[in-house]
Structure formats: C-alpha cells, structure tokens
Structure 1
Amino acid sequence: MTTEFRLPDVGEGLEEAEILRWLVTEGDEVDLDQPLCDILTDKSETQLPAPTAGRVTRLAVAEGDRPHVGDLLVVIEETGSEPATSPPAAPSAPTVGPSGGGAETGARGSKRPRVKAAPSVRRRARELGIDLSTVTGSGPGGRITAADLDAAATRPAAPATSPTPPPPSSQAPTPPPAPTGIPGQMPVGVHPLRGIRRVTAAHMEEAWRIPHIHGSDEIDASELLATRREIKRLHPEAADLTPMAFFIMAVARALVRHPQANASIDTGAETITVHPEVNIGMAVATEAGLVVPVVRNADRLDLFALAREVRRLVTAARDRTVTAAELSGGTATITNYGSLGGRYSTPIIRAPEALIVGFGAIRPRPFVVRGEVAARPTLPIVTGGDHRLIDGDLLTAIQEYVADQLTHPGLLAVSAPGTPW
C-alpha cells in the first residue's frame, strides 16, 4: 500500500511551510514517526514524522521549496505491501541525498537504524561531520544527547585503509571559510534567502511601515542587583532568576496600568483591539537567527514563575524545540541587547504589537547621587511605540513607570501578580 504524505496544518492557521532539509532520501527505509524533514513556518522550525513505516519512493519537493498545506511531500511504500511497479533495474552508483540528511544516509534501499536525537543535536552532528548512526545514545530510549556528541567528537578517528588519492583537478580546491564565531554569519558569496532569515526579513519589512516613536532613560540599577542577589541567597530555588524576569514583570505591570499600549491597530478595518491578556515576547538570539518566544499572562506570574518560564523558553528557542504556539500571541516585546554588551538601540516594533522595550548593558557609569557624581551600575532603557496608538505623553508615562519599578525593585518582589503597583 502506498501512502502519500501531504503537508499538514501544524497549527495557528498554517498556509505554507519551507522545507529546510530532508532527513531521508529516496529508497530509505523509515519507521513510524521517524523524522522525515525539518520545516519552517512563519512561527517556528519543527520536524515532520513519518505517518507509517515503509520505503521512501519519492520526495515530491526539494529543500527550499515552500509547499502549501495539502501539497504532496513524500510517497512511502508501506512495509509488507507489494510494490506498485515492477522491480527496478540494477541500482546505479550511489548518489548523494539532499543536504541535511548526510548524518544518517546509507545505501539506497537499505534499512537505516532509526536515530533518536533532537533537531539541535542533528544540526550539531552535521557541523561536526559525525554520522549519528555511529553514536551510542545515553539518553532515555537511546536518545543521543549533546554530551554524546561531544564524546564522539573527542574520540580519535579510525585509521583509513587503502587510501586512494583524489583525481587531479584543473581547479584548485576552494578553501573553507574561516569561522567567525558569531552565530548567523555567512561566507562571502550569494546565498538564497531561506529559513529564519527569510521570515525575519518579511516581518521587518512589515514592521518598518509602522510610524515609530522612541524615548530613552537610564537608571541606577544598584537596588536591582542587590535585590536579585538577596533573593537568590534566601531562595535556592531562584537560581534561574535573571534581570530579564524583573524586566518582564515591570513592563507587564506597565501594560496593566496603561492598557492602550497593550493593543493593536488595524487601519484597514479602522479598529483598535485592546487585548485582554498581557503576553510579553522576548527576543532570543539563536544560531539560526532571532526568534521571539512569548511569556503568556506575564502580569499574573511572580518573579520565581517568570524566571522558570524565561529559562524554559530560551532553552527551547536555542534547541529549536519551541512550538508555534509559544511564538504566537505576543502583545508587547522586550529585547535585552545589553546581554550582548550594547548600551542603546532603537528597537523595531513587532507587528501587530504597539510597544517594544529595550534594555542595555548594566555597567558602572558616572551618575549623580545626592548632588555628587559617583560610579553606579546604570541600566539604559529605550521604549518604542506605535505612534498611531501611543502619543509622547503615554510613551513617557510607560517608560518612567518601568524605570521607577526597576529602580526600586522591592515593589516588584512583594506586589501581588495581576496588579499594576
């Protein structure tokens, strides 16, 4: 029996998805639920599992294609069924499958062992040139972990037998580009606009049409740092407490106090929607690009819950296990470029939101304290608003409220969730 696997709607009203990489080639034997390919929606990267066990007889789309929901992706001849055509002729020389499947490819038609590994582990294996089928997994059910990869990478390679020199070439080999050590960098040349970079480019073009208004301030972060240290000392379970949890709580409380900023505008429909929930997105830099997971009902979480949720979402974003739902529904965004060393920026709003708040690096700087200039750990804050919804006085009120809450963070630590004080 032949199964035609078509692009499913994986949620959030999906219309199309980009095929990032195939993890199988035509002729491969696959198990039920074995990952077939990595796809990218306008929200997140995910894997599509095999709907049945059998032999892959056709890949209907190529890497980089963007099929619509319902389009044919792959044809699988189910295990135990009779082939739909006559037996093929003698196989030709092995061919190289699509990029991304090299870590698990084998001879055409051969039964490849199912490898259990997260997308981030598979990506790392490709970068290291490690065949995952040669790695023994130490995780649950034999799942290969990042530690297993590190161990495999440090093992000495087996000596080659009967080495055959490569045939002479009229062209000198192109040296590999020197690594930059910066995520998302590309070697010199022309590259197709694909993956998260394509999605980001489309979102930025949309966001750039929003008329922005920005304001900035800088506060003494001495109490913020001291409060964080004291909470972590008194509560060992608060090991995950970072400044980001304070930032999210302050912005969330500001939106409770000023709900007009927790809104979206649609000039075509001539409507303004004030959202009932306060959902804060946080920009996270990953190897593939920038993603923005969302902390839902952020105004109703205490500092400990916020810290746990921040850690969970950041880990999921960098492991590429974050779901489309976790990247949707934001009503405002925070960008902490200070974690990269930046001081000021003019962050761009994420449509259809109306507010974004950026935080710079906390560093010792000259600051006036009781009429005297002294060195203080200062925190730069930049607030950006959609000027169609947010006037200068409202933007300033939001910014000063956030600044006051972070200058005196004890208010955040003791106030009840869901309240703007």
Structure 2
Amino acid sequence: MAQVLEFKLPDLGEGLTEAEIVRWLVEVGDVVAVDQPVVEVETAKAMVDIPCPYAGVVTARFGEEGTELPVGAPLITVAVGAPAAEGETEGSGNVLVGYGTSEAPARRRRVRPATPTPPAAQPANGAATRATAPAAESVARPVGTAAGHSAEGHTSEGHGSAGRSPAVHGSAGHRPETAPADEETRGDGPVPVISPLVRRLAREHGLDLRELHGSGPDGLILRADVEYALRAAEAQGRTARPATEPYPRVPSAPTEAVPPAQPPVRSSAAPAGLRGPLKGIRGAVADKLSRSRREIPDATCWVDADATELMRARTAMNAAGGPKISLIALLARICTAALARFPELNSTVDMEAREVVQLDQVHLGFAAQTDRGLVVPVVRDAHARDAESLTAEFARLTEAARTGTLTPAELTGGTFTLNNYGVFGVDGSTPIINHPEAAMLGVGRIIPKPWVHEGELAVRQVVELALTFDHRVCDGGTAGGFLRYVADCVEHPAVLLRTL
C-alpha cells in the first residue's frame, strides 16, 4: 500500500526563516528519486535547489512560483512504496551544508472521511485547497506532530488563526473539521493570503480581506497589504471625525432623533504607482543597511590619489605572462597591507560586552551588483593571498553572484569591505558600512585629470578614495592614517614591497 509523505521547507541555516519559490522543477504526477532537486528557491542569501529526501510520485505541490514560504511550510507530498517499520524514517537523511533535512518528517496516513465534505466546508487554507493538489486534501497530519500545529507549520490552535487545516488524529471514520464560520472567502474560492498570521491580523482589526487587492503574485495578500489598509482606515477615520462645535446642537423639534454616529469606513485603496515587496536578497539588504544606520556612528574621509604608477605596474605584470592580474586584486592587496598597519579597522563592536574585538584574519568582502540586488561575497583569508590568488577568487565569486549560486558561507563572515563603485562611472560616494564590520573603502573611477607631478602640471590617472569607518573603534587620526597609506601605495606601488 502506498504511503504519502509530506516534505516541508527545511531549515536553511544562517538564521534564514523563509524563502521564495522561484521555479518548480517537478510537476504533480512526476516520479522523483531520493535527493532529486524538486524546487528552486531564493533566500535572503542566494538561489538554492531544494532536494527531496523521498523517492516516489509527487501527489501535491504547495505554493506557486513567486510565493514566499516560511521554514516548516509544506513543499510537496510524495507517494512512496511500502511503509517503513515502526520507528524508522524514510528518505536519505542527507544534509546539505546550510540547506537540507537532518531527519525526514514522520509518516503520514490517508484518512477518508465518512461522508463527502461539501465544498462550503472545505478548509480555507490556500495550500490545502489548491487546484493542482487534490490528492493532498485527504492526507492526514504527520504522526507525532504536536496538536494544534497547522499545515503551514508555524501557527497553533491556541492562536485562533482562521484558515488552518484541522488536524486528524482518529481512524478512518473521523472527518476533518469544517472551516470557521467567520472564514473569509470569495465567490470563487478562498481569499489568497500568504499566511494564517496575516489572516489573524485582519480578523483582529475587523478588516474584510475580500475588500483587499493583494500586491503579491496572482493577487496574494501580503502582510504589508493588510498593514497599509489598516493605516489608511485609521487615517480616514481621523479626517472624517467632525471638529468639536463650540455649542451643542439643539434639535429643531422634540421628536427629532439624532442619528447614531457611523463607524469610519475602512478602505483598502492603494496609492497610484508600482508597488514591489521588499523580500529575498533586496529585503535582506534593506534590513542590514537600516541596522547599520541605526547602530553605527559612521564618519567618512576621502582623498584624491594619482593612480598612474599603479596602472603602469599592472600593465607590466600582465605583460610578463601568466594569469592576468585584476585592478581590484591589487587594491585588495593594498587594503590587507593597510589593515596590518591599522588593525583597529579590522574589528567589530560587541555592545553587550561593551568591547571592541580586533580580528586576526582579514575576510575581505566586495560589493557586487546583480539582477537580484546588491550582494557582498567574501574572500576568505585575503591577507594570506597574493595578487594572482586574489584575482582568481574575485572572478569565481563574481560569477557565482551573477548566476545566484553563492552559498551562505560565501556571503557572511566579512571583516572589511572594498566597494569599487567606480565601475558605475562615478567619482565618489559615502558608502554605508556592512554591519557588523567597522569600515569600508570606496574606490571611484580612474580617469585622466590635470595633476601637479614633480612640480609640473601634467595629465595623470586620478582616483578618489573614500573611507567610511565606525567612530567607536577609532578616531579620525587612525582612519586618516589608513587612508593615507592606501593612497601612498596607489601612487607608489613600491611601498608595498615593505609588507610583501
């Protein structure tokens, strides 16, 4: 007898709690093998293929492309062969670094209701009533799951969230509970809501979800839509409230009744313009930059430098044969040499202990602009690499960023960031520090400019360098000394020979 197992979105590691479905790799009815990738998702860190730990036939998929799911929410159900012995678990049990399932979910049983459930009594859970997954409607909850947890894996009965799939603990004679009487439904089915938490938020504030137009994929109602509607209703309620009259109104006749005050009308009208949710990589960047601005008292200093000799040195290196050396690799080598002289800038602040922690290794991050947003890949142990090794690692990480295949380990753990915004054709900037680091060096474009060289006016290749630093870890003298040393190495690359 076939057994239906549910595979949930696994723990993605690195503190990630949700992921967006980018592309399904299987269809309902497809046969899958153990550890075969079934869906491609985008987290706040990277694009990831999620493998299924079961072998069998896909009976249901939960979530359309573009839907954001929390960790623990159902992804697919798979009909496998004979059930395993009591106490055993199905699947591979393999663990991918940062992604994967350490243990397969408990077994599931098919439970047939005693009588057909009328359409109006179907649970209003968007995943359980999806048209592409009819086989999932009669699948019971996994044995061993705590009572009250919904199919979406992050609410409980005690929360009173509408729209959950009721748990079934009995035998085949038991029937799923019907949806609550106050369930919001449209004429053609349930209201598409991203999670029961959003549904509960609307119900607690008396907001009718049928009046909202979701900004998510296919009209999916997001939490931002509900919060915006509540703010709009509150603002309308304030403006619609009449001003207090200086004298009470006297009815014209004793029998004239004063009509009761009408409650403010809640509106879900959205302002004109294109709305896009902050999620995935862009949402993670927004959160990190906002935290940096809130927590770090930053300051910026900058200097112009003559990069003519650095460019000539790079040309000579590449003319000598062997792998080509990139300009950013030379700048990275200069940064690691400067950090060896000014280690205060390779540190982080522990506010709970009220300590500044100077770090031993230099893990150099660099800003990379991609179609999915700004990411900061990290070159591990940059202080121990030469120019050739740095060039190769920069090229590898840049390609991985472009294709969205960076792993969480390659996007975290940086101690200092190099931001080459000159590739965008700009001269200068005041970059935001990549929290929890203490500094970032910005490099503008290198262009010909008039410059006084050896006492005479000449056209030289000039670059603007800017250092943004955390004023808690050092004062302006240290930051200025670091930036001046970097500029000296740019102008006179032979200065680097002292530290090579």
- Give me the TM-score of the superposition, normalised by structure 2: 0.59
Is residue 414 of structure 2 the alignment partner of residue 330 of structure 1? yes
Q: In structure 2, do the counterparts of structure 1 residues 77 and 19 end up closer, same or farther at CA, with 3 Å as the change threshold?
A: same
Matched ranges for 1:159-178 at <5 A: none
Paired residue type of 1:284: A
Q: Tell me which residue corresponds to 2:337.
A: 253
Aligned mates of 1:365, 1:56 — CA distance in 2: 64
Give SS of 2:70's match. Answer: coil
Aligned mates of 2:395, 2:313 — CA distance in 1: 19
Alignment counterpart, residue 451 of structure 2, candidates 349, 367, 375: 367
Q: Tell me which residue corresponds to 2:354.
A: 270
Q: Is the 8 A contact 2:19 2:68 kept in 1?
A: yes
Q: Tell me which residue corresponds to 1:229.
A: 315
Paired residue type of 2:339: L
**Alignment root-mean-square deviation, CA:** 2.8
Structure 2 portions without partners, runs of 5+: 84-108, 117-125, 127-131, 136-272
Q: In structure 2, do the counterparts of structure 1 residues 66 and 393 end up closer, same or farther at CA, with 3 Å as the change threshold?
A: farther
Q: In structure 2, do the counterparts of structure 1 residues 272 and 107 end up closer, same or farther at CA, with 3 Å as the change threshold?
A: closer
Paired residue type of 1:211: P
Aligned mates of 2:425, 2:29 — CA distance in 1: 47
Aligned mates of 2:31, 2:407 — CA distance in 1: 25
Query: How far is 1:195 from its partner?
Result: 1.8
Matched-pair identity in %? 35
Q: In structure 2, do the counterparts of structure 1 residues 259 and 66 end up closer, same or farther at CA, with 3 Å as the change threshold?
A: farther
Query: How far is 1:25 from its partner?
Result: 6.5
Query: How far is 1:390 from its partner?
Result: 2.2
Q: Is the 8 A contact 1:20 1:195 kept in 2?
A: no
- Higher normalized contact order (CA 8 Å, seq sep 6+, divided by chain length): 1
Q: Tell me which residue corresponds to 1:218.
A: 304
Matched ranges for 1:63-78 at <5 A: 63-68=66-71, 71-78=72-79
Q: Tell me which residue corresponds to 1:58.
A: 60
Q: Is the 8 A contact 1:356 1:383 kept in 2?
A: yes
Aligned mates of 1:334, 1:385 — CA distance in 2: 12
Structure 1 portions without partners, runs of 5+: 90-97, 99-105, 110-187
Matched ranges for 1:127-206 at <5 A: 189-206=274-291
Residues 177-232 of structure 1 deviation map (CA, whole Å, 9 limit, x = unaligned): xxxxxxxxxxx611222221111111110111211110111111111111111111
Residues 35-55 of structure 1 deviation map (CA, whole Å, 9 limit, x = unaligned): 323333343232212222333
Give SS of 1:252's match. Answer: helix
Matched ranges for 1:402-417 at <5 A: 402-412=486-496
Query: How far is 1:401 from its partner?
Result: 1.0
Aligned mates of 1:406, 1:28 — CA distance in 2: 62
Paired residue type of 2:70: P
- Matched residue pairs, number? 317
Paired residue type of 2:75: V
Paired residue type of 2:48: T
Q: Tell me which residue corresponds to 1:297.
A: 381
Pair member with larger Rg? 2
Q: Is the 8 A contact 2:44 2:283 kept in 1?
A: no
Residues 384-410 of structure 1 deviation map (CA, whole Å, 9 limit, x = unaligned): 001111210011011011111122224
246-255 or 47-56, larger mean C-alpha shift: 47-56
Residues 289-308 of structure 1 deviation map (CA, whole Å, 9 limit, x = unaligned): 11100011111100011111
- Give me the TM-score of the superposition, normalised by structure 1: 0.69
Give SS of 2:352's match. Answer: coil
Aligned mates of 2:134, 2:110 — CA distance in 1: 18
Aligned mates of 2:110, 2:367 — CA distance in 1: 50
